Structure 1
Amino acid sequence: MAVATRVSALLNERLADLSSLADLPKFTADLEDQRLKLAGVASQLSKSGPVRLSQVCSDTRSAQARLEQLRGRRKTLLRKVEAFPRGEHHMETLMEAQTKLSRLKLAKRYVDLLLDVDDLSSEVESNTARDIKRALTAYDKLQAIYKSASRLNSNQPFEGTTAARSEDDALHPALGFTVQPEMLKYLNTVIFSLYDLLKGHLSKKLEHALEALGWPKAVSVESLRRQATDPHWLAFKSAFGDMLLLQAPKTNGEADKPDSLPAMEVLLRLPVLQYKYHFTGERPTNRLDKPEWSFTKVLAMIRDFSPFLCGPVQSLLEEYGYVGWDAKNHFVEGLLDAVMYKLRLDIPKLLENPRLFTHASKETYAFDKALREVHLYTKPSGKWDGCASVFTERREWFEQWLIMEMAAAKATFEDAVQADKAWEFVEDYFGEGDAKPTQSAELFIKILEAITDRYRLLPDYSHRLAFLNELQLPLLEDYLQEVRDGIKRHVSAFHPVNTAGASLPSKINRLQMLCRYICSLQFISSNLREWANLPFFIEFREQVRKQNKLTNEADDVLEIDPSLKATAAELLGDQASLFDEVVAAYDATIRRLQDLVVQDIMQEFSEAMWQYDKRRNWVISSSDSDSDSPTFSSSPLLDEITPEFCTALDTLTSFLPAIHSHLPVTVFLSLLQRDIGPRLDEHFFTKLILRGRFNAQGAKKVSYDVSKGLAKGVLGRWVRKPDALLRRTTESLSLLTLPLRTSRASGTKAPALVTIVELLLESSNGQRSDDEDSNNDAQDTALREALESVGVYRLSTKKVQQVVERRVEVENLLDSLA
């Protein structure tokens, strides 16, 4: 019924109307093709069906047999369980059995490990002499086992359980269980034993190869290059390369990168032995008073061996993977171990003789300097503090060294300042600038530089601070005190009350001595300023700042002397450098010396001027009947310098060249422009101009004396515009030499003296500020223009009024107006 229904539905769908009957043949053919395909499939199924059915039946029988077996096994297990003792101790029995099984498994692993170690050890021992490459390979396998065991070891008590596999198992598959410390110790012992065996064999092989090359004499690199196939060279390459393959054993926790190479140790053996033979034994070459001999020997070895080390040896290191290694620096490091060993032996003996100790320290510093600057040595691992650091390894050594350095520096200082020519200038000095150092100052700077060289490379901050505080700063104070004592001696020698018969030194000699003091202090002060800008002292200053940031921190740092704590705090302060306070003290003394020099010159000048100064009346009659005539009289009186003034000029011409020859040019010009010139100007202005009475002729006479005698005759020797040093005097004389009234015949446009007076009277009766620096703001425009037209720029209105009132004509004119 269902089939008929489906057929009916299909026909209705495909033959819905009469027009669709045309497709009936095609539809019938398609149905026939489907029928044939289905018939083929049914035929195939009828053939394979029995086979599959037979297979299903076979699987069913097998499953039934397996089921019967499982049922039988279940019954057996049930009987065993029923027969098993019942109670609370059955789990303990199972755990004990499990523990025994774990122990047995672990014991088997240990046995296997021991067998592997024994096999590899035997392979190393048997192949060391006949096949070194196989021996090294077996040795490397042992190293790998030990490395793996070290990483997997948990260092926990044995509990009979296996360790869980970690990431290290993938990197090191030789082991997968925790190895106890006893086993690690055994492995370490075996590896060290084999290492010594291999190292001994390879060392002998390398020593024979070096001996064939003539070591420890310098090896000719050029010869090796020409004879690349030389059997001796090939033997060295092979032996050195095999030594590079030998890795030193390491205990747990050590870095993978070795600190030393056995091959380099073999290279160092004979040179170090040779050095110790000559310089640490009873040989005549080992002399305490000749430490430079041993240093020279080391430097000579470095020089001779450098081509071989930097060439073939360095190439072999890089060939075998030691790219970051420097053969020369490692070789030097080995030699320096021997040098420092010798120094440690010698220091106790040197401490008994300060002279020898000082000499040894100097030579050690020179040796360190040569290594750094000539051979560019840098320690392969870490910072190299220099061989001189040995002197600070023990506190008592350093303290004694400091005492000796103090004594030596003090003695040299005393010799420097007490020498016959201590304050004589250094001949042919070629330093920077126009400095003129004395012999004592130059030697003193060398003493300070030598002390700096002593402590510059000391590794410990407190040691450097001790040298600075206990040697350099006290010596700087001593030199300054020496100059101060000299000042007292020279000042007291010229006490105003002279005893009868007293022999006083020449004042010129005194001035020259004061100038030498100035030059000495200025030279030292200039050097200290330069030092303050050097990187070493800048870094040192920053160290002082950091180390003294907190008071408690300073206690921990300053271990040599607790007093250094206070010194460090003083050095910190507000100073920009370590020498600011010292430089300030030196500069203050220099200024005092300069004041003394100026004071002496002005005192002598004032005494020489007393006859010239006491003349108040400068009203001079002229052969010309018209005293207001602008023409300058040809009278010899006006064309010659006043005899009384010549004495003062002679004083200046004696003193100024004397101090000029004893001072740097910049210092002399500074004194002349800043001190001497203004004081001369003050003297003339206050003691001569403001106290005298002048007419035009008298003013011209004084102007001639000042201009021709003082300005051009004396000061013009050193400055281009000497009148600028006597500004108030020259401006005052410009006013005093003005004609009273302007003559039409003169043809000049300059205002007359009467014009100036009228402008003064119109300018608020002359009530103006006495501040010369603010004249432009305080004076009337017309008055200032008139004054500037006659060359008056600096004098204030009040001073101008005081000056013009010294003209007798103006005095009479004012009296008539009053």
Structure 2
Amino acid sequence: MNNSNITTKQPILKELEDEYQDQLLDLNRCTAIYEHLLLQKQILQKESDPSNPNGLIGATINEAKSILVQSQNAISQGVELVHSIGKHLKELDEVRTSLKSKFEEVNTYETTVQYLKVIQQIEYLCSELKSEVTKKKDDEKSVTLFANLTEISRLLTDCPLVSLKCHIKETIFYWYNIIKEKLTKDFDEVLKSIKWPFLSVNINFVAPLKTNIDKLQLLTEYLLQIELPSDYVVSSDGHRGIISHFQPPCLPIELLIQPLRKRFLYHFYGNRKTNRSDRPEWYFTQVLTWIRDNQDHVSTWIQPVIEKFGLHHIDARTEFIRGLVQLAAEKLNSELPSIQYDDFTFSHSIDEALGFDKELKDIYNYPATEPSIVVVLTQASILVKWLTMEKKYALEKMDAMLSQNSLDAFDLLTSDVEDLKITTCADSFITLLQTIAERYECLPQPGHRLQFLELQLELLDDFRVRLMQIVHAEEGDYMESKVPMIANTLYYIEGVLVDWGMMLHYLNLYYYKTVTIEIQESSSPTFHSVQLKDLEENGTLTVESNSVFSETISLYKHFRNDILLGIAEAVIMEVKKKSWEYRREKWASMNVSKDFRSLSLTPSACPIFEILAKRLHQMKKKFQSNLFIIVRRNIAMEFDTYLFEDLVMDNRFNEGGALQLKFDITRNLLPLFAQYTDMSANSFIRLIESCNLLNLAKGSALLLRETLLALEEATGVEDTREKMLKEIGVNHFSPKMAVKILNQRVDITVNRLNVD
């Protein structure tokens, strides 16, 4: 207990010492300090007494009690206010319900009034229309009244009153038919007065009077104003089928077409002699004639009236042509089911229809976006039949152009001024493919065009197989056979396909085909990029193609290269047969003049050069220039390899033998090939460099050989072997091969090494 008090008092004593220090040693001063602290204690006790209202704690408690009382009062008032508000809300809800009922009643009355006003307005307009139509016969006012009716219908578009909308729709149809009948009758009378339609048979054509044209244009205005809203127009033929592609023209154009429709039905339906399914050109020609004779009048008389009303989306001339095209489409559509079993008539109808469509677009500028006769041809059953017929006739033509009885299939065209070596069958086949393309390129749907493209690719493959069969069947002298001409044919077709692949028509098909594959495989397609790498005189000609013909070009190129390789190998085989004696000459002991200019060709080499000269001349004459370059280089490189391996590396050479070989190569072989190229030396690098090594002076040869051998195993020394070889004109051979060739010299006999 005492320890606790001491612990408690120690901080107090320390604080007193710190504050008063030496003053605590003075008793009087301690007494004063004691009294001062006692006074402060009393003040603090008074302030902390809760019963003292003037004290800090007492005042705070009293203030808190006051606030608590105020809060309780506020809560009581809030509760009373909530009850009061709830009561008022209930009263307001009753008032709102009552007012809503009244407003709904008022709205019903107003709607009824508006409904009655609309009915009254409709009845008024109908009454006025009846008066104008039956008595006053004022067309302008009748049209205006009818336009007011259609305006009411437009305003009621979102109206939920179905019965009212049906009523006004029936009313509009009723007056539309009456006014249309009236205006149509007047319009027909004007057409008769101006002798419409204008036909080419009317030799004595007289320009219509201006008053008649003015009346025609006035009636056109009226007809345009009574056009029904788009949602009112219903096809009169629910079973129109393919003809539904043709939108009905505006009323004036429809009435202009009506007399021509009557003539068309009269001549090309029923038992008339002009109604012949095997003569579709008759009605196609008739339609084109009517377009030619009347289109300008339509543009001159009707189009200004259309533009006057701001109907810029209507082209009178286009609508007139579309209406006449529809006549031809309806006729063709009715004929095709019966003629599709007659191949000739069906094919003839297809050709005539496509010709008709082409003339419309090329001569009369009929927009490609408008429906055409093609929509009839692209019906599923008709399109399948069309594809079948295209394939059938194409195969028949291919049979004819490549038949055994066709002696001129691989003759060159007389018109081939560019030395392309175009054969008759190649030209005919490309023309066949081009004709197919011209027929189907007008089809609007990419899917339909892709089907014809597949047919073209199939025909290309079939043609390639046929040529392959001909090549395999050829016997006898290959240069006098059809094989060279077949190579020319393949090369020409390759070039045409590369050009076609860059045309917009085939580029579009490539895009559509790519998209189709992406959809089918759900991944990006990878097309083989075809490259045609054909050697030319000045380097490499590379033609890259990435098109719908990529795979076909690759197959044609492979076949063509096989032919060229086969011909080159055949020439080399002939050369090998003639070269046995030449290779077995006594090169190691040959005595010849050291005067290079006095040398002559080795007699045993004459048959070799004779066959080479003959074949090169034949190939130059037979092959297209690029193909000749390829096969000539192949022969030269093969011959170079053959003589190097079977003559140079298989014989020993003395000074005379080496000199004679050099003469044969540089003064006979190179000039022989130089007739066809300025770079003949590039094809015989092995032989030329071998001659350079074999004809080195003995001392130089020995020194070169020893140096090459010494540097072979040397380390820490700069390798100058290639530089040394280049100084004597040897760029192709490695140092090891150069030593091996030097070892073929008779005068190098010491320490001969077999260097692989």
Shorter-normalised TM range: 0.7 to 0.9
Distance in 1 separating the partners of 2:157 and 2:709: 110
Distance in 1 separating the partners of 2:460 and 2:635: 30
Please tell me whether residue 677 in structure 1 is matched to residue 648 in structure 2: no
Amino acid at match of 2:683: L
Please tell me whether residue 237 in structure 1 is matched to residue 197 in structure 2: no
Q: 1:341: how far off?
A: 0.1
Distance change >3 Å, CA 537–CA 720, structure 1 → 2 = same
- What residue number does 1:373 align with? 362
Contact residue 136 and residue 246 of structure 1 kept, 8 A: yes
Q: 1:720: how far off?
A: 0.5
> Which deviations, in whole Å up to 9, do the C-alpha atoms of 1:782-804 show, x marking residues without a partner?
x4444333322212212222222
Contact residue 386 and residue 457 of structure 1 kept, 8 A: no
Distance change >3 Å, CA 297–CA 644, structure 1 → 2 = farther
Distance change >3 Å, CA 409–CA 547, structure 1 → 2 = same
Q: What secondary structure sits across from 1:241 in the alignment?
A: helix
Distance in 2 separating the partners of 1:389 and 1:351: 16
Q: 1:275 aligns with which of 259, 264, 278?
A: 264
Q: What secondary structure sits across from 1:694 in the alignment?
A: coil
Q: Which sections of structure 2, spanning at least 5 residues, go unmatched?
A: 1-96, 235-246, 530-545
- What residue number does 2:29 align with? none
Distance in 1 separating the partners of 2:103 and 2:629: 106
Distance change >3 Å, CA 327–CA 189, structure 1 → 2 = same
Q: 1:622: how far off?
A: 4.5
Distance in 2 separating the partners of 1:690 and 1:112: 117
Distance in 2 separating the partners of 1:291 and 1:209: 33
- What residue number does 1:127 align with? 132
- What residue number does 1:480 align with? 464
Q: What secondary structure sits across from 1:402 in the alignment?
A: helix
Distance in 2 separating the partners of 1:212 and 1:252: 33
Q: What secondary structure sits across from 1:298 in the alignment?
A: helix
Q: What secondary structure sits across from 1:443 in the alignment?
A: helix
Q: 1:715: how far off?
A: 0.6
Amino acid at match of 2:377: F
Contact residue 195 and residue 249 of structure 1 kept, 8 A: no
- What residue number does 1:645 align with? 605
Q: 1:550: how far off?
A: 4.8
Please tell me whether residue 203 in structure 1 is matched to residue 172 in structure 2: no
Please tell me whether residue 594 in structure 1 is matched to residue 564 in structure 2: yes
**228-237 vs 801-810, which moves further:** 228-237
Name the Cα RMSD after superposition: 3.6
- After superposition, residues 482-521 of structure 1 pair within 5 angstroms as 482-490=466-474, 493=475, 505-510=476-481, 513-521=482-490
Q: 1:678: how far off?
A: 0.9
Distance change >3 Å, CA 700–CA 130, structure 1 → 2 = same
Distance in 2 separating the partners of 1:351 and 1:246: 43
Distance change >3 Å, CA 763–CA 184, structure 1 → 2 = same
Q: What secondary structure sits across from 2:559 in the alignment?
A: helix
Q: 1:148 aligns with which of 128, 150, 155?
A: 155
Amino acid at match of 1:793: N
Aligned length: 622
Contact residue 596 and residue 659 of structure 2 kept, 8 A: no
Q: 1:596: how far off?
A: 0.7
Q: What secondary structure sits across from 2:302 in the alignment?
A: helix
- What residue number does 2:683 align with? 725
- What residue number does 2:645 align with? 686
Q: 1:441: how far off?
A: 2.2
Q: 1:634: how far off?
A: 5.5
Q: What secondary structure sits across from 2:684 in the alignment?
A: helix
Q: What secondary structure sits across from 2:278 in the alignment?
A: coil
Q: 1:618: how far off?
A: 4.8
Q: Percent identity?
A: 23
Question: TM-score, normalized by length of structure 1?
Answer: 0.69
Question: TM-score, normalized by length of structure 2?
Answer: 0.74
Distance change >3 Å, CA 272–CA 185, structure 1 → 2 = same
Distance in 2 separating the partners of 1:385 and 1:230: 35
Q: 1:426 aligns with which of 413, 431, 452?
A: 413
- What residue number does 1:136 align with? 143
Please tell me whether residue 659 in structure 1 is matched to residue 619 in structure 2: yes
Amino acid at match of 1:391: L
Contact residue 209 and residue 239 of structure 1 kept, 8 A: no
Distance in 2 separating the partners of 1:779 and 1:708: 38
Distance in 1 separating the partners of 2:703 and 2:711: 12
- What residue number does 2:305 align with? 316
Contact residue 191 and residue 249 of structure 1 kept, 8 A: no
Contact residue 514 and residue 593 of structure 1 kept, 8 A: yes
Contact residue 478 and residue 567 of structure 2 kept, 8 A: no
Distance in 2 separating the partners of 1:784 and 1:106: 109
Q: 1:763: how far off?
A: 2.8
> Which deviations, in whole Å up to 9, do the C-alpha atoms of 1:681-738 show, x marking residues without a partner?
11221122222232333222222222222211x2111101212211110111122223
Q: 1:342 aligns with which of 331, 335, 346?
A: 331
Q: Which sections of structure 1, spanning at least 5 residues, go unmatched?
A: 1-91, 155-179, 494-504, 554-568, 624-630, 742-751, 769-777
Q: 2:167 aligns with which of 181, 186, 189?
A: 186
Amino acid at match of 2:219: A
Distance in 2 separating the partners of 1:305 and 1:241: 20
Q: 2:227 aligns with which of 231, 236, 247?
A: 247
Q: What secondary structure sits across from 1:641 in the alignment?
A: coil
- After superposition, residues 361-440 of structure 1 pair within 5 angstroms as 361-378=350-367, 383-384=369-370, 386-393=372-379, 395-418=380-403, 419-429=406-416, 435-440=420-425
Distance change >3 Å, CA 149–CA 787, structure 1 → 2 = closer
Distance change >3 Å, CA 809–CA 189, structure 1 → 2 = same
Distance change >3 Å, CA 146–CA 802, structure 1 → 2 = same
- What residue number does 1:540 align with? 509
